[in-house]
Structure 1
Amino acid sequence: MSAPSNPAGLTPLPAEWSRTATTVVMPTYNEADSLPVTAEAVMALPLDGLRLLVVDDNSPDGTGKIAEDLAERYQGPQGPRMSVLHRTAKDGLGRAYAAGMARAADDGAAYVIQMDADGSHPAAKIPELLGVALATGADVVVGSRYVPGGSLSDAWAAHRKLLSRWANAYASTVLGTRVRDITGGFNLWSAAALRAIDLDTVDSAGYSFQVEMKYRALRAGHTVMEVPIHFEDRAAGESKMNLAVQLESVAMPWRLRTRAARASGDRTR
């Protein structure tokens, strides 16, 4: 499969913008059923500079092999449009993202996009994320569930929606940010922002990675913008959220706040 097509309903970006080197980083662990559909949706986008990097944590269901087979299908004039980073063990979503984002930036991506493989993030919004970044100069563009126009799947129960909103309000309040969807995982980053954050020093192993990354970007002076998305329930497989991840998510905002306060104190001495 070669050049990307133009799915119905998408307004293409200007040709120069569409050639911008952009890599979608997609961590996987037991996503054999959902990855082919999600990869196809990404690869069909009318963005000549778009690449997909799957980061597989040695999935026992064969996701890594499926990713390799898909990578062989997606070729472009300049070579493969999809590649796979194999890790030997499952040690957290945050670390998988950090490894993939670092690889993408090192390979020349001007922008890196975080995206789940489970179908919850709308691939059709990727051109908009990139367009907003290029039009405004923002270093971080968040696909947001909680700005006007954003929404959550009707398949989510009321308590789950309430918990998600509470988690966002909790983290934003503790850290004093105005980002409406600070816990969201569908984000675009400039390579410059990733270098400033220094991915090797990010502490979060789980979902709190999303909070830590945005907070560190804000602390470094980078502009964060949000665009509305509809967040779907996962199409297949099981959520990777567990008690340890939940506890890390509760503790991390306080750790970040304490660290920032200490850093500010050191600068005033």
Structure 2
Amino acid sequence: MQHSEARDRQLRPRVLVVLPTYNERQSLQPVAEAVLAAAPGVDLLIVDDASPDGTGDIADALAGGSPRVTVMHRGGKLGLGTAYIAGFRAALERGYDFAVEMDSDGSHQPGDLPRLLAAARDGADLVIGTRWMPGGRIVHWPLHRRVLSKGGTAFARRALRSELRDLTSGFRVLSRESLTRLQLDSIVSEGYAFQVETAWRLERQGCRVTEVPITFVERAAGRSKMSWRIMREAFTNVLRWGKEVRSQASQRASQRN
């Protein structure tokens, strides 16, 4: 029986898509329904940070209409990173094989999800939906947003000596093993620096990382959560981590000499 169960899980791994929400009442329902349709075998966890616009009520209605949807209500706006960590903990506790990071504003296309999941089933510890690679593209972004995103990625790659092409992408699949290796209690980033921190950690540990091209579409409704505080956190953290990388490299070089 145990052998049969293990084989079944290998063929049909359990997947939990984590959708953090804050004031996404216009986009949540179509995004959630599209995810469930695009990947019929996955479940969905909506993590709502007490959205004042009624997003939490829409999440509850979705959960009431499908056993594949659950909702986690939090007491306030606690940050993107902590929402994903809460979702990752739930994935581990509930026995899922993979957890998916995905925006709830419609920027990430549910139609791309099966390709990311296929890469995960092929053995990747982390699959990143990448905009900055052949086959990847961005729709409806003005030039300044493209420059800011690509420049931020280039800065992080150089500072951290990373080979990854889209460290800031928030469309990802993580294996159960990689979730465990992240040591969730030790993650310090709350905003978009969370994406850089987690990908870089797994890359440094020698995990298998696969990048898959995606189409990123600028949100059609609602407001972006990007702020100067979030950008400052990312810049400060990357600088600090980069300094640590160079210090460790210098120490290893001294030891060899």
In the superposition, the TM-score normalised over structure 1's length comes to 0.87
Partner SS state of residue 203, structure 1? coil
- On the 8 A contact 1:53/1:104 being kept in 2, the answer is no
Q: Superposed, which structure 2 residues align to 1:37-76 within 5 Å?
A: 37-48=30-41, 50-74=42-66
Q: CA–CA distance in 2 between the matches of 1:258 and 1:89?
A: 34
Residue 157 (structure 1) aligned with residue 150 (structure 2): no
Equivalent in 161, 169, 173 of residue 176 of structure 1? 161
Q: CA–CA distance in 1 between the matches of 2:15 and 2:116?
A: 11
Q: Give the Å deviation of 1:220.
A: 1.6
- On the 8 A contact 2:17/2:43 being kept in 1, the answer is yes
Equivalent in 25, 29, 34 of residue 36 of structure 1? 29
Q: CA RMSD in A?
A: 1.8
Partner SS state of residue 212, structure 2? strand
**Could you say if the C-alpha distance between residues 25 and 235 of structure 1 is closer, same or farther in structure 2, counting changes exceeding 3 Å?**
same
Q: Report Cα offsets for 1:15-52 as digits up to 9, x if no partner.
A: 9767310010010000011000000001112432x100
Partner SS state of residue 58, structure 2? helix
Q: Give the Å deviation of 1:257.
A: 2.6
In the superposition, the TM-score normalised over structure 2's length comes to 0.90
Q: CA–CA distance in 1 between the matches of 2:218 and 2:11?
A: 29
Q: Report Cα offsets for 1:130-157 as digits up to 9, x if no partner.
A: 111212x11000000011000011x211
Q: Give the Å deviation of 1:173.
A: 0.6
Write 1 or 2 for the structure with the bigger share of helix: 2
Q: How many residues align?
A: 245
Equivalent in 220, 227, 250 of residue 235 of structure 2? 250
Q: Report Cα offsets for 1:224-261 as digits up to 9, x if no partner.
A: 11010110001211001111001011111122233455
Q: Which residue of 1 aligns with 2:222?
A: 237
Q: Which residue of 1 aligns with 2:115?
A: 128
Q: CA–CA distance in 1 between the matches of 2:137 and 2:80?
A: 24
Q: CA–CA distance in 2 between the matches of 1:87 and 1:231?
A: 28
- On the 8 A contact 1:19/1:47 being kept in 2, the answer is no
One-letter amino acid of the structure 2 residue matched with residue 240 of structure 1: K
Q: CA–CA distance in 1 between the matches of 2:93 and 2:237?
A: 28
Percent identity reads 43
Q: Give the Å deviation of 1:105.
A: 1.9
Could you tell me which runs of 5 or more consecutive residues in structure 2 were left unpaired when the two chains were aligned.
Answer: 1-7
Partner SS state of residue 16, structure 2? strand
Residue 191 (structure 1) aligned with residue 176 (structure 2): yes
Q: Superposed, which structure 2 residues align to 1:100-115 within 5 Å?
A: 100-115=87-102
Q: CA–CA distance in 2 between the matches of 1:47 and 1:59?
A: 28
- On the 8 A contact 1:17/1:131 being kept in 2, the answer is no
One-letter amino acid of the structure 2 residue matched with residue 234 of structure 1: R
